[in-house]
Structure 1
Amino acid sequence: MDSKTRFSNRVQDYVKFRPSYPPALIEAWLRLAGVKAGDRVADVGAGTGIFTRLLLEQGLEVLAVEPNDDMRLAAEQAVSPLQLDRFRSVAASAEETTIGDAEVDAVVSAQAFHWFDPALARAEFARILKPSGTVALIWNTRDASGNRFAVEYEALLHAFSPDYENVGHRRLTPGDFEAFFANGAYERVAYVNEQWISLPELIGRASSSSYTPASGTEAHVLFTQALTTLFTTHEQQGRVPFHYLAELYIGRV
């Protein structure tokens, strides 16, 4: 499936159930990127606008670049009317953003870089950035081994999702980041981002991932049954632990 369309049938689950990012990560990015209110940032692969909204809350001007029509519409609808004068929705890809030369003070990509062509995206980011600008690559990385629930959830994904190993960002290595950032130089910071979620939230969070069985299929029914069993086994007061490490990689290109 084309990476630019594979989330079209999962937008509502993405909007409702994907986690945000901890304030400490935002503060670290502001400091390391050297940006301030009024600066212009390209949020590339903006999706449904989770990170876009965090940027707008900092008083930044945001160009939200997203090739998927359904996700881009969700992002547009979620922006506060009071912030619309600092928001521009851009129907384009990371490799061809349509943004002008040296137009932005910084580029961010949250939960999206692993879908890009790294060499083409790198060249495009270098083109649209001002000379002092940085690129930040950000993920909420789910803890796959920290507790029995995490281990068994990971095994369930492998059992139901043949595509899982091929599309996750965890396949990226330090060598990939060294190849992307100028002179192989970048800084990484990470912060714990924890959730305790209900059964509907667990099903919705799992269903928002492009590699899990699609809603309306027999495989999705079986997947939901397996999730319910897993939840029942591990729930504490109607919740199970969903732990992430919010990671930020930042450097110049």
Structure 2
Amino acid sequence: MSLNSTERFTSRVADYVRYRPDYPVALVEWLHRELGVDRDTPVADIGAGTGISCKLFLDGGHPVTAVEPNASMRAASIDWLGGNPGFSAVAGTAEATTLADASVGLVAAAQAFHWFDQQAVRTEWARILKPGGLAVVFWNSRRLSGTPFLEGYEQMLLDYGLDYTSVAERYNDDASMEAWFGGGLRGTARFDHGQQLDLEALRGRLLSSSYAPQAGHPQHAPMLEALRKLFDATARDGTVSFDYDTRVFAGTLPATAS
């Protein structure tokens, strides 16, 4: 696929809104309890997409500014969350947010983090953070094994995904995240998370992924047939369990990374 990272999901917004997983409430509670983040701390949600991670922080009591370059995804977040007085959205990138110096107490980045220029964002995020402010990076890491469904789904992506392997390899490991924080890492956490999906929702979850071939591509119909067979073979009481580990890293951003 040749789309740049800011446009990869433009044609998938509807499925993204309906079928992408949220994040565990325990994540925000951990920030409050373990790292002392006040509930009214202003948050900049970078690469906010359709607002899934924004909703997590809004529900936790935080005012949130969504920074999102993709117009379709940003519009979806406004449609969903625009009625909340604590929510606003701006057209900006992770590396050039448009936000003022020292304007937020918490910079948050969720699933989009692996698309960023991770050196350039440190400089930008340090600029917009108030003194003593924190950055928190988190994502849902899909479990690849442990049940016949999870193992079958992974094999299906390997068989039909357009650039699945290269996308999967973009996710950071613990060592690279510690290096990215440059000695400022204050805490890490991991939370169980998941979705119970019927066949329609499973199909939508698959098609929300940037590497899934869309209608008109020769791999599209065979992939959906493989998905149906996998669902029929592994569903229990009409659903499958789509399981994740939600991984969280939080800390300050020193001037230079290690």
Same fold (TM over 0.5): yes
- Contact residue 6 and residue 210 of structure 1 kept, 8 A: yes
Equivalent in the alignment of 1:30: 32
Equivalent in the alignment of 2:53: 51
In the TM superposition, residue 56 of structure 1 has moved relative to its aligned partner by 1.3
Equivalent in the alignment of 2:232: 232
1:110-162 deviation line (CA, Å, top 9, x unaligned)? 11110000000111111100111111111111111111111111011011114
Task: Say if 1:73 and 1:115 are closer, same or farther in 2 by CA, change over 3 A.
Answer: same
Equivalent in the alignment of 2:256: none
Q: Residue type matched to 1:142 in 2?
A: R
Equivalent in the alignment of 1:175: 175
Match of 1:13 among 6, 12, 15: 15
User: 1: CA distance between counterparts of 2:216 and 2:35?
Assistant: 43
User: 2: CA distance between counterparts of 1:33 and 1:168?
Assistant: 30
TM-score when scaled to structure 2? 0.92
In the TM superposition, residue 21 of structure 1 has moved relative to its aligned partner by 1.4
The 10-residue stretch of structure 1 (168-177 or 21-30) with the greater mean CA deviation from structure 2? 168-177
User: 2: CA distance between counterparts of 1:38 and 1:27?
Assistant: 13
Matches within 5 A, 1:87-236: 87-168=87-168, 171-183=171-183, 185-236=185-236
Q: Residue type matched to 1:78 in 2?
A: W
In the TM superposition, residue 196 of structure 1 has moved relative to its aligned partner by 2.1
Give ranges in structure 1 of 5+ residues lacking alignment: none
In the TM superposition, residue 106 of structure 1 has moved relative to its aligned partner by 0.5
Task: Say if 1:80 and 1:171 are closer, same or farther in 2 by CA, change over 3 A.
Answer: closer
In the TM superposition, residue 216 of structure 1 has moved relative to its aligned partner by 3.9
In the TM superposition, residue 239 of structure 1 has moved relative to its aligned partner by 0.9
- Contact residue 24 and residue 191 of structure 2 kept, 8 A: yes
User: 2: CA distance between counterparts of 1:5 and 1:135?
Assistant: 25
User: 2: CA distance between counterparts of 1:172 and 1:216?
Assistant: 33
User: 2: CA distance between counterparts of 1:213 and 1:246?
Assistant: 26
The alignment of Structure 1 onto Structure 2 pairs a total of residues equal to 251
User: 2: CA distance between counterparts of 1:141 and 1:127?
Assistant: 29
User: 2: CA distance between counterparts of 1:72 and 1:56?
Assistant: 16
Report percent identity of matched pairs.
42
Task: Say if 1:164 and 1:120 are closer, same or farther in 2 by CA, change over 3 A.
Answer: same
More helix by share: 1
User: 1: CA distance between counterparts of 2:171 and 2:67?
Assistant: 24
Q: CA RMSD in A?
A: 1.5
Equivalent in the alignment of 1:243: 243
1:48-84 deviation line (CA, Å, top 9, x unaligned)? 0001012112221111000111110000000152x1x
In the TM superposition, residue 4 of structure 1 has moved relative to its aligned partner by 0.3
User: 2: CA distance between counterparts of 1:218 and 1:152?
Assistant: 21
- Contact residue 33 and residue 106 of structure 1 kept, 8 A: no
The 10-residue stretch of structure 1 (160-169 or 44-53) with the greater mean CA deviation from structure 2? 160-169
Task: Say if 1:170 and 1:146 are closer, same or farther in 2 by CA, change over 3 A.
Answer: farther
User: 2: CA distance between counterparts of 1:114 and 1:30?
Assistant: 25
Q: Secondary structure at the match of 2:30?
A: helix
Task: Say if 1:186 and 1:214 are closer, same or farther in 2 by CA, change over 3 A.
Answer: farther
1:163-211 deviation line (CA, Å, top 9, x unaligned)? 1111136642233212210326342101111322100111100100001
The 10-residue stretch of structure 1 (144-153 or 170-179) with the greater mean CA deviation from structure 2? 170-179
User: 2: CA distance between counterparts of 1:129 and 1:51?
Assistant: 19
